[in-house]
Structure 1
Amino acid sequence: MQNPAHITEKAEEIDGKKKKKIVVVDEDVMLNYPHEKSQEVKPSTLWSKYSMIKAVLSVKENIEINKFSRVIAFLKRNSVGYEPTKSKVLTRQEIDTFLTNADDMKSILIKMNRRNVCTL
């Protein structure tokens, strides 16, 4: 089964081609996509989208966009100075405090799931 993100990206690409009447995917076309998206998303997301598009185009269209050096150069320049944010992780003590003190009626599903995971 295909990842929904891949399907979404492919749909966006096909939709974009139809709207702009793009027949050929070349380096200039591929450079336009991350340039437009760079105003909306973080560099890490751009790299992720590039990777998804690269995989879909390689398999479905037999187009190797990893050879488009200007696209990769743009992604690298766009990433300069970017510091990803780390996700916060609960400590064992914080989890135990939650399980002990949280209202059962509001948090029962979370508590049950946590206890089931711990017993596996």
Structure 2
Amino acid sequence: LQEITAFCLTKASEIKVYNTICNATFIRQKESVELSKTVDCMIVVGGRNSANTKRLAEICSSIQPKTYHIEVAGEIEPQWFEGVNRVGITAGASTPDWIIKEVVERVKEIAEMTAREVGV
């Protein structure tokens, strides 16, 4: 943004820059903050090149250190959930629903395996 602003200033004597996020992104970030406060582990789903998702992961990890930014369900590691009772899942705005559903299913599978292993 700074580079773009600097370039624009070479072409015009005055410019106005509004660094904003859309309302849906703002709400998602706010809800993710609240969720991060109530869980033992947070999964953020979305592209690693997505500014929106990267920011979401930064926000969540500032509250819940056990935050993992993944792109697909196959990246989830069972050891992330050792000693974890509650997992939160959030996703970037452009993350497809089918990817989110796969992540939820993978977390459920791991939870069931863990429950069997400890005899719950």
TM range (shorter): under 0.3
Q: TM-score, normalised by structure 1?
A: 0.28
Q: TM-score, normalised by structure 2?
A: 0.28
The structure that is strand-richer by fraction is 2
The structure that is helix-richer by fraction is 1
